[in-house]
Chain A
Amino acid sequence: MIHSLFLVNASGDIFLEKHWKSVVSRSVCDYFFEAQERATEPENVPPVIPTPHHYLISVLRHRIYFVAVIQSEVPPLFVIEFLHRVVDTFQDYFGVCTEAAIKDNVVVVYELLEEMLDNGFPLATESNILKELIKPPTILRTMVNTITGSTNVGEQLPTGQLSVVPWRRTGVKYTNNEAYFDVVEEIDAIIDKSGSTITAEIQGVIDACVKLTGMPDLTLSFMNPRLLDDVSFHPCVRFKRWEAERILSFIPPDGNFRLLSYHVSSQNLVAIPVYVKHNITFREGSSQGRFDLTLGPKQTMGKAVESVLVSSQLPRGVLNANLNPSQGTYTFDPVTKMLSWDVGKINPQKLPSLKGTMSLQAGASKPDENPSINIQFKIQQMAISGLKVNRLDMYGEKYKPFKGIKYMTKAGKFQVRT
């Protein structure tokens, strides 16, 4: 399956290579570089590139290309999904997944890759198992290791590997038993020029941070499970119970994990929490353009809209923007023509606005396209779909855990066309 893996940084250098079968020369990456040059944007490099003898499948994460070399037929998603899992694991281990972090921990990276794939076929990808095999590097552990000469490689086969709950390690102990669940919903929307919604949908996830002793068996029930239209589960969730009773029943992995991601049925009308009034015009013949943008909250159920960030890709003809924000700060990058405005919190009494002029290239005709506006925001303590967790019960262990649930609504791909 996966023959080799090359890690390529933004400037096009291969800074790590790993082979699971016979060594593949790194010259195979030349085909990749060729494709990279052809693509105008970094994300436009095709994920699958055929070469005379191999196929290159790549993903781009954190400005690093992970290029897998394969030789024969394999489902491309298989490889792509695996590469993403590799990135997630690195992130889990090192906190960040940057070139520097990987270079600093090259040995751990190598050990990880060795465990994750055998002969190109995934072996252990659960982070709970990997952490038992190879302990994540921490400053404390590095120090202890250098002094005592002990290693950070597990000697025993992780029991999880053999059990039917491969995602949970055994012998977990905590003094404070806690289980936190974050219900995070994202609104994906396209709003057209006149302010009407073209498409809007809600995608949500429940991220959990479970630190419980032993082998707890949890059940989580919702007040209104009917809202959930399409769900995908962490493998720990018992599918049949969901089918029959709409209850999430699971033995959780230890630590952070994504329990569930869901899609709220499109029949429900989506409440759009912000509105945008905009007036972006370019006049024919003059080298000036007007820019006027006002944001306001709507349908927020009394909650404040926070961390608002507006960004817009202005037309190429714009040389500079001279704007005046009523609150927050704005930046305009004259090279990429990216305008971003960090608004902060929307105050319903005094609506934030950004007004001013844009200077255009002299002599150039007026740009015929209008920029679209992307908005990011957060609303705490509210799930916009109205989803509510009813209760969380624990079986199989005697102690009383501390339970917490947090709701949040965010903008996903929220775009306003002008």
Chain B
Amino acid sequence: MLDSNKDSLKLEAMKRIVAMIARGKNASDLFPAVVKNVACKNIEVKKLVYVYLVRYAEEQQDLALLSISTFQRGLKDPNQLIRASALRVLSSIRVTIIVPIMMLAIKEAASDMSPYVRKTAAHAIPKLYSLDPEQKDQLIEVIEKLLADKTTLVAGSVVMAFEEVCPERIDLIHKNYRKLCNLLIDVEEWGQVVIINMLTRYARTQFLNPNINESLLEEGSGGDKTFYGSDEDEDEDEEEKEKNAEAPAMAKRKPYVMDPDHRLLLRNTKPLLQSRNAAVVMAVAQLYFHLAPKAEVGVIAKALVRLLRSHSEVQYVVLQNVATMTIKRRGMFEPYLKSFYIRSTDPTQIKVLKLEVLTNLANETNISTILREFQTYIKSMDKDFVAATIQAIGRCATNIGEVRDTCLNGLVQLLSNRDELVVAESVVVIKKLLQMQPEKHSDIIKHMAKLTDNIQVPMARASILWLIGEYCEHVPKIAPDVLRKMAKSFTNEEDIVKLQIINLAAKLYLTNSKQTKLLTQYVLNLAKYDQNYDIRDRARFIRQLIVPTEKSGALSKYAKKLFLALKPAPVLESPFKDRDHFQLGSLSHLLNAKAGGYQELPDWPEAAPDPSVRNVEVKDSVRAVGTVPEWTKCSSREKRKEKKVEKPFYSDSEGESGPTESADSESDSASGSESGSGSEESGSGSESVESEEGSESEEEEEDEEEKNKKKKKKELKKPVQEIKLLSLFPVEPAPSPQVTPVNTFLSNSLVTDLEGLSLSDTVLSPATIAPSSALKNYELLHRITGEGLSVEYCFSRQPFSPDANMVAVQMQFTNNATSDTKNLHMEDVKLQSGMRVKEFPEIELLPAGETAAAVMGIDFCDSTQAANFQLCTHTKKFFVSIQPPVGELMRPIFLTENEFKKEQGES
């Protein structure tokens, strides 16, 4: 059928072949027939052939080579889907001969115009690496190049490639660190997981331990309890506020100052706790656990508890991690204690893990409720779970002294349980508890001695015997009797029981040799002929030790000391005790064993490495800074600048070269210009003003805003086309998500949408030459940054009456705060040479909720330099900046065609 001319027949044949592959049947002998169809026009046939090829090419290398040329042709196809899929298949064919071809293809695709193809190239890197590890150096070059890529689509895949090929080359990340942090929220979820895990490791090498001052006091779980408790009760936005205020507060409290990049990472990952993808939530949780200051780790608890509603497999993994966390940071999960209560419908493995968490969470205050819960669990039908519960009770009892007696009594009651497993488990746990304070409990020991008649579980029997032997002085009457019974049944016992019988005999012989001498001899004789060599050895050893003979040396004198030495009580510990040296959420952590390819989580460095390695060359930047953000204190100005360079939004104005001149103005506000790039200018240039201003919190807003804008892109297609006609620079034809010139109507709606403000020009009525399109409002001061005061401005496109050279800027002040704002005026104007500003008249009073308007004039000197000044109220000063888009610097003039030609001729 494959040789047929009809596509439908071919398709049918391929479908059958694929079905064979799916069932695991060998279809390799069809290879020649299938390979012929690799150039088939029908896309479905083609895809199925690809599936086949990828599966069998490894086995039939020579024949597979026949298909290579098709892929090479495909790599040049104008359709990006075909380019990408050709690369995908080419790189998936594991044939060593084509390594050079693959290398070439990857290099080419890495600089492809389409981000989708670049993404595929990133995927191809680990494939090639696994095929031929010698290509590593070349591949690292490609990875380096792709790491610099600014699209969200590529980021996840390339970090994945980085992790597989060269996780040790942490230096490659430096330059891209901030970009990755900022892009993170827009990356697809799988990429997020990989990036977050990588950044955790990175941060461990680059930043200082935020808990360094507390680490001395740490481990005292009682102390920080209240601390966390209060943290949990707070609402989220409160927490947010607190976070913002926190850094300075912390700085006051102790000398440690968090690196701004460290803070950036924590801040940008926090929203991802809200992700629907459990893996992302877990990744963020482990990041916070490993990197955040103690006070902030609490935020992850809520999200993790939420995951417990998910599928049981997810629960299983999450509970494992929670169990580890609860050992270190118990307070974090205490408010959620009840979420770990067990339902009879939970699978056993989940029950056991929840029990573990409950045990870890137990403390003096909540132990009574927990024990009451445990009492219910003991009645469960699931016996494995009951056994685990009993052990949990034992652990609670050892950890919390107050309840030890209650627990012990409860456990003793369980000894009369009908289920043997329960009794046995209790015996084992009681034995451990009794070891802590044996003298008080001789009656319990007596009771247990009686149990030897009934209990058959070897471990329990062994435990009882050990107890009796150890404390035979407390039960002098019963002990020999027990030994007598045991001697009788010796041959039928399990090995561990036999060993304990020998032990018991030896101890009794030493303390009470009159009564037990014969019995001991008898037992030892039995043991001598046992099948198990361990038992024979033990018997021989003990006989030499305790029975004084002429040959026996000095040791037998000390026999009593040897056997009846005081033994330290066992410490009942959580099996999750030391797991936190593995990165949480990792496979290695889950298995408590190092998995292949696991990257150790490095310890914090003693001293922070040079933070400037993360600085990036500034190409062009626009920025206005509002209230001094926390990180300006310790970071250099350059750092701030490049932060937004990394934003994808700007990244695509690659045609531009305009270096920032005003960026180095003295004030904290740096600004730059975007010269060139004609058509996009009005869009991206003006946008940047809108989105760039504001302070720390604003920056987050801005990401969001950017996102909005990107989303609008689709609708924008048409206007973009029109703008393109005017464009001075050729615009890249491939669709790329970054360039988003926003036309006025959209951003208008966006602004209204966001601010709930009307756009109507209240003061100036539209003049005759007013341009037809609506005015665009820019944001000068966001209401969050401005502490309630928000300012917007637009270029009213009116002549500014006091000075014809100035551009009129219409400002609109809104007081969103609850109190009045007084004395609004501007100060400290910083301008480039030649520029002039006519300040707006001072606004005396702006009552709460009111809006006021004012007009100011700026002579930009026909440049697009920003005008920086301070906006002052009676209490506060805000650094703001106005930057004009090119289009706003012009005044509409009416020209006839002839006049226009004349003018043109002159210039």
Query: What residues make up the interface of A, taking CB atoms closer than 8 Å to B?
Result: 1, 14-19, 21-23, 26, 40-41, 43-44, 46-48, 50, 55, 58-61, 70-78, 80-82, 84, 106-107, 109-111, 114, 118-119, 121-123, 125, 146, 149, 151-153, 155-157, 159, 161-166, 170, 188, 190, 192, 198-199, 201, 203, 214-215, 217, 219, 229-235, 238-241, 243-244, 251, 258, 261, 263, 266, 313, 315-316, 365, 368-370, 372, 374, 395-396, 413, 415, 417
CA distance A67 to B785 in the complex (A): 51
| Contact in complex: A119, B123 (CB < 8 Å) | yes
| Contact in complex: A151, B381 (CB < 8 Å) | no
How many Å from the CB of A188 to the closest CB on chain B? Answer: 8
| Contact in complex: A234, B348 (CB < 8 Å) | no
| Contact in complex: B190, A48 (CB < 8 Å) | no
CA distance A161 to B114 in the complex (A): 11
| Contact in complex: A372, B598 (CB < 8 Å) | no
Contact with A along B311-342 (1 / 0, CB 8 A): 11110111000000000000000010011010
CA distance A109 to B19 in the complex (A): 10
| Contact in complex: B713, A149 (CB < 8 Å) | no
| Contact in complex: B274, A16 (CB < 8 Å) | no
| Contact in complex: A413, B94 (CB < 8 Å) | no
CA distance A22 to B24 in the complex (A): 14
Q: Inside 8 A of A313's CB, which chain B residues have their CB?
A: 344, 381
Interface secondary structure of A, over-half rule: mixed
| Contact in complex: A121, B188 (CB < 8 Å) | no
- Binding stretch for chain A, among B76-84, B394-402, B676-684: B76-84
Contact with A along B447-490 (1 / 0, CB 8 A): 00000000000000000000000000000000000000000000
B585 CB contact (under 8 Å) in A59, A77, A258 = A77
| Contact in complex: B306, A230 (CB < 8 Å) | yes
Q: Inside 8 A of B312's CB, which chain A residues have their CB?
A: 43, 60
Q: Among the interface residues A73, A80, A82, A369, which one has the most CB atoms of the partner chain B within 10 A?
A: A73
Chain B interfacial residues counted at CB < 8 A: 121
Q: Inside 8 A of A153's CB, which chain B residues have their CB?
A: 43-44, 47
How many Å from the CB of B872 to the closest CB on chain A? Answer: 26
Q: Inside 8 A of B92's CB, which chain A residues have their CB?
A: 119
Within 8 A of A (CB), among B338-371: 338-339, 341, 343-345, 347-349
How many Å from the CB of B335 to the closest CB on chain A? Answer: 8
Q: Inside 8 A of A155's CB, which chain B residues have their CB?
A: 43, 81
4 additional contacts (CB under 8 A) given A80-B313, A106-B18: A110-B22, A161-B116, A232-B274, A368-B379
Q: Inside 8 A of A114's CB, which chain B residues have their CB?
A: 47, 50-51
Given contacts A15-B23, A164-B710, A199-B341, contact A81 B279 (CB under 8 A): yes
Q: Does chain A have a CB within 8 A of B715?
A: yes
B381 CB contact (under 8 Å) in A77, A81, A156, A316 = A316
| Contact in complex: A165, B190 (CB < 8 Å) | no
CA distance A136 to B312 in the complex (A): 29
Contact with A along B45-81 (1 / 0, CB 8 A): 0011011000100100000000000000000000111
B276 CB contact (under 8 Å) in A164, A192, A261 = A261
| Contact in complex: A149, B8 (CB < 8 Å) | yes
CA distance A258 to B344 in the complex (A): 29
CA distance A266 to B305 in the complex (A): 12
| Contact in complex: B79, A157 (CB < 8 Å) | yes
A121 CB contact (under 8 Å) in B115, B160, B749 = B160
Q: In the complex, what residue of chain B is closest to A163 when comparing beta carbons?
A: B737
Q: Among the interface residues B88, B153, B317, B588, which one has the most CB atoms of the partner chain A within 10 A?
A: B317
Q: Inside 8 A of A243's CB, which chain B residues have their CB?
A: 236-237, 240, 271
Q: Does chain A have a CB within 8 A of B569?
A: no
Q: Inside 8 A of A156's CB, which chain B residues have their CB?
A: 79, 81
Within 8 A of A (CB), among B19-50: 19, 21-24, 42-44, 47-48, 50
| Contact in complex: A72, B597 (CB < 8 Å) | yes
Q: Inside 8 A of A417's CB, which chain B residues have their CB?
A: 376
Q: In the complex, what residue of chain A is closest to B91 when comparing beta carbons?
A: A119
Q: Inside 8 A of A244's CB, which chain B residues have their CB?
A: 701, 784
| Contact in complex: A78, B279 (CB < 8 Å) | yes
CA distance A14 to B237 in the complex (A): 50
Q: Inside 8 A of B551's CB, which chain A residues have their CB?
A: none
In the complex, 7 of the A-B residue pairs with CB atoms within 8 angstroms, ordered by the A residue number, are A61-B311, A110-B18, A192-B376, A235-B275, A240-B703, A244-B784, A417-B376
Within 8 A of A (CB), among B266-292: 271, 274-279, 281-283
Q: In the complex, what residue of chain B is closest to A236 when comparing beta carbons?
A: B711
| Contact in complex: B157, A76 (CB < 8 Å) | no
How many Å from the CB of A227 to the closest CB on chain B? Answer: 12
Q: Inside 8 A of A74's CB, which chain B residues have their CB?
A: 587
| Contact in complex: A77, B314 (CB < 8 Å) | yes
| Contact in complex: B585, A75 (CB < 8 Å) | yes
Q: Inside 8 A of B271's CB, which chain A residues have their CB?
A: 239-240, 243
Given contacts A230-B306, A232-B275, A235-B275, contact A44 B347 (CB under 8 A): yes
Considering the complex of A and B, which 6 residue pairs feature the smallest CB-CB distances, nearest first? A72-B597, A240-B704, A151-B44, A157-B81, A199-B338, A164-B710
A164 CB contact (under 8 Å) in B18, B190, B344, B713 = B713
Q: Inside 8 A of A18's CB, which chain B residues have their CB?
A: 22
Q: Inside 8 A of A19's CB, which chain B residues have their CB?
A: 55
Q: Does chain A have a CB within 8 A of B700?
A: yes
B152 CB contact (under 8 Å) in A75, A122, A164, A258 = A164
Q: Inside 8 A of A395's CB, which chain B residues have their CB?
A: 749, 753
| Contact in complex: A165, B274 (CB < 8 Å) | no
CA distance A374 to B275 in the complex (A): 31
CA distance A118 to B124 in the complex (A): 9
Q: Inside 8 A of B593's CB, which chain A residues have their CB?
A: 50
| Contact in complex: B345, A370 (CB < 8 Å) | no
Q: Inside 8 A of A80's CB, which chain B residues have their CB?
A: 278-279, 311, 313-314, 317
| Contact in complex: B47, A111 (CB < 8 Å) | yes
How many Å from the CB of A189 to the closest CB on chain B? Answer: 10
How many Å from the CB of B302 to the closest CB on chain A? Answer: 5
Q: Does chain A have a CB within 8 A of B621?
A: no
How many Å from the CB of A63 to the closest CB on chain B? Answer: 14
| Contact in complex: B317, A203 (CB < 8 Å) | no
B714 CB contact (under 8 Å) in A21, A170, A240 = A170
| Contact in complex: B51, A162 (CB < 8 Å) | no
Q: Inside 8 A of B298's CB, which chain A residues have their CB?
A: none
| Contact in complex: A22, B23 (CB < 8 Å) | no
Q: Inside 8 A of A164's CB, which chain B residues have their CB?
A: 152, 186, 707, 710-711, 713, 737
Q: Inside 8 A of A315's CB, which chain B residues have their CB?
A: 381
| Contact in complex: B704, A365 (CB < 8 Å) | no
How many Å from the CB of A9 to the closest CB on chain B? Answer: 13
Q: Does chain A have a CB within 8 A of B120?
A: yes
| Contact in complex: B714, A84 (CB < 8 Å) | no
Q: Inside 8 A of B376's CB, which chain A residues have their CB?
A: 192, 417
| Contact in complex: B379, A369 (CB < 8 Å) | yes
